[in-house]
Structure 1
Amino acid sequence: MNQRKVKSMHSKLSRLAKNECASYKDGACAVQRCGRCIVAIETDSMPGNICGYFVRSVLPAVPELHAEYVDTFPKGHALRNEKPKLSDCKRCGESFEKRGNAAKYCSDCRALNDRDKARARKQKERREMSRD
């Protein structure tokens, strides 16, 4: 995310905190130790650290800004609320959370499948050795 977008989002968040946040009084936040609802910390394209009350209660009132803010967090962050990718196991049919695009089996069936493949590979190796 470029600096212009980060600064724009930061100013929108600041304006929202000043106008709508109940814990924002006299130019300071009553919840944050530093006294600011929005602390400018530049980390991995995140616009800043916002107090929990603001994120839970005030920010969802503006869905576009909330979505834009949440998109700045890295994948797997608690605020992203990403639903895990579920898929059906090719062996047992149970639903499981995919770890990658190539995942076909749940963890139990993956171990069984690896064991079966190792057995078949070893049998093939032994057959080829007996021919020689």
Structure 2
Amino acid sequence: MNQRKVDSIRSKLARLARNECALYKKDGECDIQQCGLCIVTIKTDSLPGNVCPYFMKHVLPAETTLMNDYLEYFPQGYPLKKTKKRLSTCHRCNEQFQSRSNAAKYCDYCRALNDRDKARARKQKERRKLSRD
């Protein structure tokens, strides 16, 4: 994870909270947070902590690019995080996978197997045709 990007997002969040959040007090304190801090922290290897619900619902959506950059670091099931990809079922192994397009039938592993099988069948057909001639 790029620490420079994390630091940049953190400073932009702090500036946004300082300038726009109605619950922000002097020295970064917040009335509704248990820990008393309004500034949102990003932990790189674990779940994000200290997320102010007022800030997340009312202040952050005004800055869509910052919100998307910030939510990129949240876990997959977080309510505000938008899922862009839909899950499909692989026709070969019946496992769930994130499809890249509407026409995707196979997961990455099975797609490689399927391509290999098709190439083998194509080459065998070509060899049978050559042996007949």
- Common fold by TM > 0.5: yes
Q: CA deviation at 1:46?
A: 6.4
Distance 2:83 2:49 in 1: 21
| Residue correspondence of structure 1 range 69-84 to structure 2 within 5 A | 69-82=70-83
Per-residue CA deviation, residues 31-70 of structure 1 (Å, 9 max, x unaligned), is 1111111253524376653201100000000111011111
Match of 1:58 in 2: 59
Match of 1:25 in 2: 25
Q: Report the count of equivalent residues.
A: 97
| 1:85–1:39 CA distance, 2 compared to 1 (3 A) | closer
- Work out whether residues 17 and 38 of structure 2, in 8 Å CA contact, stay in contact via their aligned partners in 1: yes
Structure 2: which 5+ residue stretches go unaligned?
106-133
| 2:8 partner letter | S
Q: CA deviation at 1:99?
A: 2.7
| 2:13 partner letter | L
Higher percent of residues as strand: 1
Q: What TM-score, normalized to structure 1?
A: 0.58
- Work out whether residues 39 and 50 of structure 1, in 8 Å CA contact, stay in contact via their aligned partners in 2: yes
Structure 1: which 5+ residue stretches go unaligned?
91-97, 105-132
Distance 1:62 1:6 in 2: 17
Q: CA RMSD in A?
A: 3.2
Identical counterparts, % of pairs: 53
Q: What TM-score, normalized to structure 2?
A: 0.58
| 1:45–1:5 CA distance, 2 compared to 1 (3 A) | farther
- Work out whether residues 6 and 47 of structure 1, in 8 Å CA contact, stay in contact via their aligned partners in 2: no
| 1:59 partner letter | L
Q: CA deviation at 1:4?
A: 1.0
